[in-house]
Amino acid sequence: MLEIRWHGRGGQGAVTSVELLALSAIGEGKFAQGFPSFGPERRGAPVAAFNRVDDKKIKIRSGIYTPDVVVVLDESLIAMVDVAEGLKRNGTLIVNTTRNLAELRANIKFEGKIAVCDATGIAWKELGVPITNTTMLGAVIRVTNVVKLSSLEKPIQARFGRLAIKNQTAAKRAYEEVRIINEG
């Protein structure tokens, strides 16, 4: 089973990300869960959301405390939240940033695999807004192979309608541009 924790801010689409990833996995015949965890429910407040994906039925109904993957939609959260808390030693941290490994290491206490993607830059160019949820989905899929990138198409179309193609393009660009900067 793959367990993922997403960190974002209210309004950035972390909850939408977990929903789209879960629907993509289900579309491939896998079993999936996607659920949020809110603090203060307001735009801009830190938000965490979670996914579980497996090839067999998922019976766990608790929170995720030791994820395999952590995704950071907004790098400013790194200074506010211990994004690597509970992340398995052999886990993967995927960050929306243009920072290098040394800069990330100054604020993140994690020695495992780290991947980065300039999702904000991609979102501005492809969507015209700095909402990085669908963009980071492309990066997550590339790094984890949890589902095929093409499996995102139907859930994105259903969620975004006429804006779907822009979101699919952003996800594809992130899939192509994400890079692993530390193998762990």
Amino acid at 180: I
pLDDT tens, position by position, 141-173: 999 999 999 999 999 999 999 999 999 999 999
pTM of the full structure? 0.94
Average pLDDT, the chain: 93
Task: Name all domains of the chain by residue range, CATH numbers in brackets.
Answer: 2-183 (3.40.920.10)
Cα→Cα distances 32→73, 105, 119, 132, 179, Å: 21, 32, 25, 22, 26
pLDDT tens, position by position, 47-68: 899 999 999 999 998 889 999 9
Distance of alpha carbon 182 from alpha carbon 90, whole angstroms:
12
